[in-house]
Amino acid sequence: MADQANRPKRRRRMHGIATWGPGLLLISPSIVLVGIFVYGLIGQNFQLALSDKHTAIQPETFIGLDNFKDLLTEDRFQHALTNLLIYTVAFLIGTMFFGMLWAILLERGIRGEGIFRSIYLFPMAISFVSAGVVWRWLLNGAQGEEAAGLNRLFQSLGPGGLQNSWWDTPNWGMVAIAMPAMWQLSGYMMALFLAGFRSIPDELREAARMDGASEFQLYRHVLFPQLSPVALSALIIAGHMSLKVFDIIYVIARNTYQVEVPATYMWQVQTFDQAKAATIASVLLIVVAVLIVPYLVYNHRTEKNR
Amino acid sequence: MRRTALASAAILAAATMLTACGDDDDGGSSSSSGDVEIMTWWTEGGEKAGLDALIENFDKDYPDETLQSTPIAGGGGSNAKKVILQRLQTGDPPSSFQGHAGAELLDYINTGAIQDVSSLYEEEGWNDIFPPSLIEMLTYDGAIYSVPANIHRANLVWANPSVLKDNGLPTTAPASIDDWIDDMETLKQGGMEAPLAIATDWTQVQLLETVLIADLGPDAYTGLWDGSTDWASSEVTDALDDYATLMTYTNSNRGSLDWPDSSGMVAEGESAYTVMGDWVPAGYDVDNLVPNKDYIWFPVPGTDGVYDFLADSFTLPVDAPNTEGAEDWLRVVGSKAGQTAFNKAKGSIPARTDIDPSEFGVYQQSAMADFKTDTIVPSLAHGAAASIAWLDAITSAVGKFSTDPDVGTLQDDLVSAADQFASTE
């Protein structure tokens, strides 16, 4: 009798495990792998950043935040951060502008939209490294007889006065080196915005037109406000990519002081000063987290409310 | 039931994958004890030919041992150095690996990763065959940690004689930096935009080091690296002023060029001079340029009689597998036959002074004669003078000067770099 009384209860417990058990088992390999290889290694990186392991094969001792203090007060790192800021602003303005422009043009239902969409999106299929090799040549600073790339183009097709030394120009050089990145990602921004436009019901436009809104007013007061969630996502995606920039700069300019950003600085010092490299990596992670975490929290909240 | 089965299958799959990866790692890095494993970054051109010649000599001299070469591509060994470090850190060193002789090896020495090989020097009599000043440069606290395979020279000017003649200038070396600057002024007046061709940051460091040698003299220059010469002194300021003046005669697109571009500018007559190491003739050979006719060379004015050296060398790691085999490899690297074969292929000169120069090229013969008599100083730009960290700090300061030419800032940066890194020497 006692057995019989217990049975339903046990079955219910079994039933509980049966619901979440297999699911947990299925995802547990990835939890373990991500735990070790992402979060475990991030932890180790921070541990290294808080140590004095400045030469290659030296045992590490904990020294607190000294490395961070040294790094943030260092001229060279501040120069790298300024470079990164200029690059990011140029990149964001460039991609958002061209992405939006192309999206508006295509959204108006021109003929051959599919072809244009592919043309604009296609640069994204190329790796930053191979694009960088081409842009290294295009952005060659040589002028006059030695001119190559864009300078040669300016020279032979007129206005020769447009020739310049591109990324080798103080400060503005970072804008020049942001050009390849804009070229690659504007198409992606366009795709995001285009999807945003398409998700706006036609009724809204029709209603606005019925009410006598001009085309400008239609975009300004009806369509753009609807696009702001998309624009925010686009900004976050482009922003975090931009902050981590390494490949395109390294391929075009190597470790040149002129266009040094935190990621190339880190790459440069990692062979001989691991603690410093880890500190730069930590600062980069924190900077990106400052951008992304609030966005994730915001996203989570809006989804919950939905 | 079916779901559980699926889950277990997934876990099983993941587990196999993990073990598979683990197996792979073990298989890749183990080497049997009879092998001698050497790691280099010589993967193409004259460098690879030189390495192959060395290996051939090893196989001939030590037929019982198997040499296993692990070349890792990447200019200046940038990738190879990372792999070597990883191998050293995980306690799995190769039998021997390549490194620039001199201060670049300091990190390895200070952390006890490589061994003293001075007993080999005594055994093989190298102490008498390598120039004494080179031996002095390789010695730290009475111990020698590497065997040089070759010698390169960094303080050379490569010039285009027809451009000089066209501007009424002699094709002999100017007597001093000041005379050299006067000649450049003449060329500039004659319409040449950039008489002195230069390329990206590290080539500017090389120009700076040669100006320091010229203005300070070899002893005070060497003193910069052991703390006996003050970086803040007025003599250094004067040298930096000369460097700043020379930079005003260089091409403005230097940042986007590398050394083959700047030496090409001289070959094409767009510039008259460039300061570069003696790997330039190998490039000119490819373009069929004739030495002493299409191009000439002389020591950077003011550095005549000084040999600003850099050398590729091989080391003996602590706990190296097959230490005896590794020592045999080092014997071949230092041997007469090995050095002759290697340097004929690579275009550099032997570190030994007892090799007949007649088998070598035109430039090499003149360099071998100089090497015997000149004062030898370590090159900064190529890792012989300062540790990698120090060189990196100097390179950054020089790169900054390239776009923001202020001698005061440059000297401040150099002084603070010395303060930070000289103490670790």
B216 vs B303: CA distance, rounded Å: 10
The mean pLDDT of B147-156, rounded to a whole number, is 95
Q: Is the pLDDT of residue B5 over 70?
A: no
DSSP sequence for A104-161 = HHHHT--TTHHHHHHHHHGGGGS-HHHHHHHHHHHT----GGG--HHHHHHHHSS-GG
The mean pLDDT of B20-49, rounded to a whole number, is 63
Q: Between A55, A254, A257, which is nearest B107 by CB? A: A55
pLDDT class of A146 with cuts at 50, 70, 90: low
Task: Note whether B256 contacts A168, CB cutoff 8 Å.
Answer: yes
What is the three-class DSSP state of A226?
helix
Q: Is the pLDDT of residue B60 over 50?
A: yes
pLDDT class of B79 with cuts at 50, 70, 90: confident
- pLDDT, one tens digit per residue, over B338-360 is 999 999 888 899 999 999 999 89
The mean pLDDT of A223-242, rounded to a whole number, is 90
pLDDT class of B423 with cuts at 50, 70, 90: low
pLDDT class of A14 with cuts at 50, 70, 90: low
Q: Between A29, A55, A258, which is nearest B111 by CB? A: A55
Query: Could you state, in order of their start, the residue ranges of all structural domains in chain A?
Result: 72-305
Q: How far is A36 from chain B (nearest CA, A)?
A: 13
Q: How far is A196 from chain B (nearest CA, A)?
A: 38
What is the three-class DSSP state of B157?
strand
- pLDDT, one tens digit per residue, over B229-281 is 999 999 999 999 999 999 999 998 888 888 888 999 999 999 999 999 998 88
DSSP designation for B144:
E
- pLDDT, one tens digit per residue, over A97-114 is 999 999 999 988 778 888
Name the least confident of A296-300, B42-46, B64-68. B42-46
- Tell which residue, A230, A283, A249, A256, has the closest CA to residue A107: A230
pLDDT class of B15 with cuts at 50, 70, 90: very low
Q: Is the pLDDT of residue A161 over 60?
A: yes
**Do B220 and B164 meet the contact criterion of CB atoms below 8 Å apart?**
no
Task: Note whether A256 contacts B399, CB cutoff 8 Å.
Answer: yes
Q: Beta strands B312-315 and B96-100: pairing type?
A: antiparallel
pLDDT class of A239 with cuts at 50, 70, 90: very high
pLDDT class of B225 with cuts at 50, 70, 90: very high
Q: Is the pLDDT of residue B394 over 60?
A: yes
Phi, psi of A207 (to 5 degrees): -60, -40
A97 vs A231: CA distance, rounded Å: 11
Q: How far is A92 from chain B (nearest CA, A)?
A: 25
The mean pLDDT of A132-160, rounded to a whole number, is 80
- Of A146 and B5, which is predicted with more confidence? A146
Q: Is the pLDDT of residue B372 over 60?
A: yes
Q: Within 13 Å, how many C-alpha atoms sit on residue A158's CB side?
A: 0
B94 vs B320: CA distance, rounded Å: 6
A18 vs A33: CA distance, rounded Å: 24
pLDDT class of B110 with cuts at 50, 70, 90: confident
A223 vs B425: CA distance, rounded Å: 65
Instruction: List the structure tokens of A293.
Output: 């975490």
The mean pLDDT of B299-324, rounded to a whole number, is 93
**A220 C-beta neighbours (distance < 10 Å), count:** 12
**A72-305 architecture in CATH?**
Orthogonal Bundle (1.10)
Task: Note whether A29 contacts B10, CB cutoff 8 Å.
Answer: yes
Task: Note whether B399 contacts A146, CB cutoff 8 Å.
Answer: no
pLDDT score recorded for residue B4: 47
What is the three-class DSSP state of B252?
coil
pLDDT score recorded for residue A13: 57
Task: Note whether B388 contacts A22, CB cutoff 8 Å.
Answer: no
The mean pLDDT of A237-252, rounded to a whole number, is 92
The mean pLDDT of B389-401, rounded to a whole number, is 93
pLDDT score recorded for residue B150: 93
Q: Between A55, A136, A257, which is nearest B110 by CB? A: A55
pLDDT class of A272 with cuts at 50, 70, 90: confident
Name the least confident of B16-25, B36-45, B363-372. B16-25
Q: Between B3, B255, B424, which is nearest A258 by CB? A: B255
Q: pTM of the prediction? A: 0.83
Q: What is the ipTM of this complex?
A: 0.79
Chain A residues in contact with B11 (beta carbon < 8 A): 25, 28-29
Q: Is the pLDDT of residue A8 over 60?
A: no
- Of B59 and A55, which is predicted with more confidence? B59
What mean pLDDT is reported for chain B? 87
- Of A298 and B206, which is predicted with more confidence? B206
- Tell which residue, B73, B330, B79, B425, has the closest CA to residue B87: B79
Q: How far is B337 from chain A (nearest CA, A)?
A: 35
Distances (CA, A) of A229 to A91, B224, B322: 20, 59, 64
- Tell which residue, A284, A288, A290, has the closest CA to residue A72: A284
